């Protein structure tokens, strides 16, 4: 204890710290933190460096899926900040590793045209509840649990978690989309965030809409937005034209080269410019 701080101040600070974690899920945070601390004890770890965190999550990656790893990371991060004054969000290699673990997983999202097609063509007699769940899930970026926990005052006929979680796969099956099983309950939140990103909504608004604290998660939807990538590509093409006027320079030179001789080189050049592809 600092000699300048009274016991009353220290006690008040400790109470304030204890309230920094979410009340409802505090036990989950404590479990995640204690599991990490136990692992450190077993490995004789005394300093929580980036390599230590990499080793810990690398070991966990063998048993947990990407979404679970991110959840564990978020809880451990919060506890380390509160209890140990260590901010692991500043560990770039750790963040890169966690992102990489989810690259091979097919995360399906419903597009605006797919949603519109289902809502307009599916028979209400058979799919009315699915339509309601779809609209609520997309507009609210809802988790399956949040849909299930709607009160009786919110809806007349309560629906179970399994039924709610299958809404995206039912929609995908109706539309005859590939990989129906990959349209999980979380698809509604991904679709909602992606639609906002496609519409050009900023990251702060997307975070607030979906209830995310992590900017990293929200940025992932913006980066993966097809519409966003298209806009960037158009800016590259149009920007070159605006800067150079009618002068046949830059990308214009690519257009002028004859296809019969330079077609393959044109394709590679455009891909490299638009996608920042390395040789």
Would you kindly state where each structural domain of the chain is located, as residue ranges? Answer: 7-101, 112-213, 226-275
pLDDT for 210: 77
Would the pLDDT of 28 be above 70? yes
Instruction: With CA atoms as reference, report the closest residue to 184 among 198, 167, 199, 160.
Output: 167
* Cβ contacts of 260 within 8 Å, gap of 6 or more: none
Torsion of CA 99, 231, 108, 184, to 10 degrees: 90
Mean pLDDT of 145-150: 71
pLDDT for 52: 95
Helices (H), 211-258: 215-223, 226-244, 251-256
Structural tokens at position 245: 């006027």
Q: What is the DSSP string of 90-126?
A: G-HHHHHHHHHHTTTS------HHHHHHHHHHS-HHH
Structural tokens at position 154: 């919110």
**Model confidence over 85-142: pLDDT tens digits?**
899 989 999 988 888 776 555 567 788 888 888 888 888 888 888 888 888 788 777 7
**Contact indicator for 266, 259 with CB cutoff of 8 Å:** yes
**Model confidence over 29-74: pLDDT tens digits?**
899 999 999 999 999 998 999 999 999 999 998 888 777 888 899 8
Would the pLDDT of 276 be above 50? no
**Contact indicator for 203, 215 with CB cutoff of 8 Å:** yes
Instruction: With CA atoms as reference, report the closest residue to 166 among 152, 181, 178, 156.
Output: 181
DSSP state of 61: T
């Amino acid at each position: 204890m600092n000699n300048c701080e009274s016991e009353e101040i220290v006690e008040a600070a400790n109470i304030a710290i204890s309230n920094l974690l979410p009340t409802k899920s505090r036990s989950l945070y404590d479990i995640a933190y204690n599991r990490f601390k136990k692992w450190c004890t077993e490995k004789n770890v005394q300093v929580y460096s980036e390599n230590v965190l990499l080793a810990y999550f690398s070991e966990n990656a063998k048993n947990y899926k990407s979404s679970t790893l991110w959840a564990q990371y978020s809880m451990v991060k919060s506890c380390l900040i509160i209890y140990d004054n260590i901010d692991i969000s500043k560990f770039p290699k750790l963040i890169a590793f966690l992102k990489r673990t989810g690259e091979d997983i097919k995360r399906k999202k419903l597009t605006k045209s797919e949603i519109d097609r289902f809502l307009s063509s599916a028979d209400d007699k058979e799919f009315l509840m699915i339509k309601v769940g779809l609209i609520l899930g997309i507009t609210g970026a809802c988790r399956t649990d949040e849909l299930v926990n709607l009160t009786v005052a919110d809806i007349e006929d309560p629906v179970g978690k399994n039924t709610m979680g299958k809404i995206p796969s039912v929609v995908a099956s109706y539309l005859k989309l590939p990989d129906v099983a990959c349209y999980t309950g979380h698809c509604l939140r991904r679709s909602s965030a992606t639609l906002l990103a496609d519409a050009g909504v900023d990251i702060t608004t997307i975070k607030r809409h979906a209830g995310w604290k992590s900017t990293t998660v929200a940025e992932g939807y913006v980066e993966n937005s097809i519409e966003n990538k298209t806009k960037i590509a158009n800016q590259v093409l149009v920007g070159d034209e605006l800067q150079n006027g009618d002068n046949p320079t830059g990308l214009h030179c690519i257009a002028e080269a004859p296809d019969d001789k330079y077609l393959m080189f044109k394709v590679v050049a455009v891909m490299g410019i638009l996608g920042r592809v390395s040789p």
